[in-house]
Amino acid sequence: MKLTKAIILAGGLGTRLRPVTLEIPKPLLTVKRQPIINYLIKFLARFGVKDIGLLIHRDHLSDYEWWQKRFKKELPAKIRIFIEEEPSGTFGAVRQLRSWLGNKPFVLSNGDELKDFDLGAIKEFHESHRVKPLATIALVKVDNPSHYGVPVMEGDLIKEFLEKPENPPGDHISSGFYILEPQVFDYADPGKKFLMIEKDIFPKLAAAGKLCGYKVKNGRWFDCGTFERWEKAIKEW
C-alpha cells in the first residue's frame, strides 16, 4: 500500500482563540515563525504523501490564497484547496472529495496541531494488523488525558471513546491523525449531510471491530487549540 493523498481539515473557526482567529485561520497561526499547517505538510511529504487537499471555510479563501503564494516554493507537495460551502462536519466534507481520493487508502488529519512521528510505522501497523482495520488512529501520550477524548482499548482495537472522563482508562488520546480505507465511506449515513467522524463513523467501525489505535512510541504532538496550549507549542516545539 502506498499512501500518496491526504486531506487536512482546516475549516474550523477557532473560537477559543478569538479575537486572533477573527483575523487569521487557526492552521495559519505561527510557531517559530512558520504556519502550523506548513509543519504538517512537510511531515506528510517526508513520508511520500505529496498530494494534499485542504478543506477550508469559504470565508478564509483569501487567507489561504495569500498563504499559498507566500509559501509555494517552500512546500514539497501539491496543494489543492477545497472550499466547504456550508458546514458539513469533519466527515461530511471529506465525503464530498471521494472521487478525488479514488479507491485507495488516504490520510486524514486535523490542521491545527503540530505532529512529528513515524508515519511509516503507523502505515505498517495498519497494513499488517490481523483485523484489517478500515481506520487506524494515531494515539499520543499526554499528561492530562481527562482534557480530551480517551479511547477504551481491547488490545489494539478501540471499543469506544470517553469524552473528557474524570477517571481516564489510559493516558493516550487521539492525535487527530488517521489512516483510512476507502470503505469507510460505506459507513456514512447517505441521508445525513452533516457527519462528524468521531460521532458518526468511528463508533460504527468500533462496533464492527474495524477501528484500531496505534500508540505512537517516539514523536512529538502539540495541540494549539487554546492560548495556553499554543504558547506551550511555541516554547517547546
Stated as kind and residue range, the H or E segment containing 2 is none
Find the domain containing 213 and state its range: 5-236
pLDDT tens readout for residues 6-45: 999 987 665 666 676 666 788 999 999 999 999 999 999 9
Cell triple for 213: 489505535
pLDDT tens readout for residues 105-156: 999 999 999 999 999 999 999 999 989 999 999 999 998 888 888 899 999 9
Whichever domain contains 11, its CATH number is: 3.90.550.10
User: Hey, what amino acid is at 8?
Assistant: I
pLDDT at 85: 80
What total number of domains does the chain contain?
1
pTM over 0.75: yes
E runs forming strands in 47-130: 51-57, 78-84, 106-110, 113-117
User: Are 165 and 152 contacting, i.e. CB atoms less than 8 angstroms apart?
Assistant: no
- Better-scored residue on pLDDT, 129 or 1: 129
| pLDDT over 60 (residue 55) | yes
Per-residue confidence at 177, pLDDT binned at 50, 70, 90? Answer: very high
